Homo-oligomer: A and B are copies of this chain.
Amino acid sequence: MREIVRIGREQLAAVGPTELSLRSVARELGVVSSAVYRYVASRDELLTLLIVDAFDELGDEVDAALNRGGRHARAQIQQIASAVRDWAAREPSRYALIYGTPVPGYHAPAERTVDPGTRVVMALLGVVEQAYLDGAAAVPGGPLPRPVRTDMDALRREYDLQMPAVLLARCFALWTGLFGAVSFDVFDQYGTDTITDRAALLKVQIDLYIDALGIA
């Protein structure tokens, strides 16, 4: 079982999420294809296992990066960002599996993927919330469009956040900005040769997002 996930991971290192096949996993496992069905009900379930696995590993890396240090919110966010980037660069297919084009025909079962899938945002929110509580985050003025405000308030209640809705909305910009930058990097959207040090560029971009959050 664990073996299957391990091999699935390995396969993903070679082949993009869409063409991950039960048969290739079986082959690599040194077993006939139908044998895999003893452990996994279908290809979809294999994908689910690998998605959860990827989210969890990324989540672990992020947590580890956070623990490694930096007391300042800015440093912590930068650390989260590089952890994400490093993992994504190391595991482009697994990154694509969870943050790229959804695998066609596959629908993730919410009850298994939501929790692991939110670990990175949760880490970011944790840092910003703490900065807010410490008075280290400037609260931006300006109203929020009603529907956004409603959603943000619902989230604040759900996750028990003290930060105001405006700040929470800005966290979304940080979150999507981070993954946008990482995706451009991993999926090679910058032309070839235009950016020589992508890690450095990411750092600059994240700095900008942090500035925009009003964090010291």
Residues of A within 8 A of B (CB): 15-19, 96, 99-102, 104, 110, 114, 118, 144-145, 147-148, 150-151, 154-155, 169-170, 172-173, 175-181, 183-184, 187-189, 191-192, 194-197, 200-201, 203-205, 208-209, 211-212
Contact = CB atoms under 8 A, between A and B. Distances in A.
A16 B172 contact: no
B204 A212 contact: no
Contacts of A104: 15-16, 18-19
Report the copy number of this chain in the oligomer: 2
B101 A196 contact: no
Given A151-B194, A180-B181, A211 B208 contact: no
A205 to B, nearest CB: 4
10 contacts: A15-B104, A16-B101, A96-B101, A100-B187, A101-B101, A145-B203, A148-B201, A154-B194, A177-B181, A179-B183
Main SS at interface, chain A = helix
B17 A101 contact: yes
Given A169-B204, A177-B209, A208-B212, 16 more contacts: A18-B101, A101-B187, A110-B191, A145-B200, A147-B197, A151-B195, A170-B208, A173-B177, A173-B205, A176-B184, A176-B205, A177-B180, A179-B183, A179-B189, A209-B212, A211-B212
A172 B201 contact: yes
Contacts of A176: 177, 180-181, 183-184, 205
A172 B150 CA distance: 31
Contacts of A187: 99-102
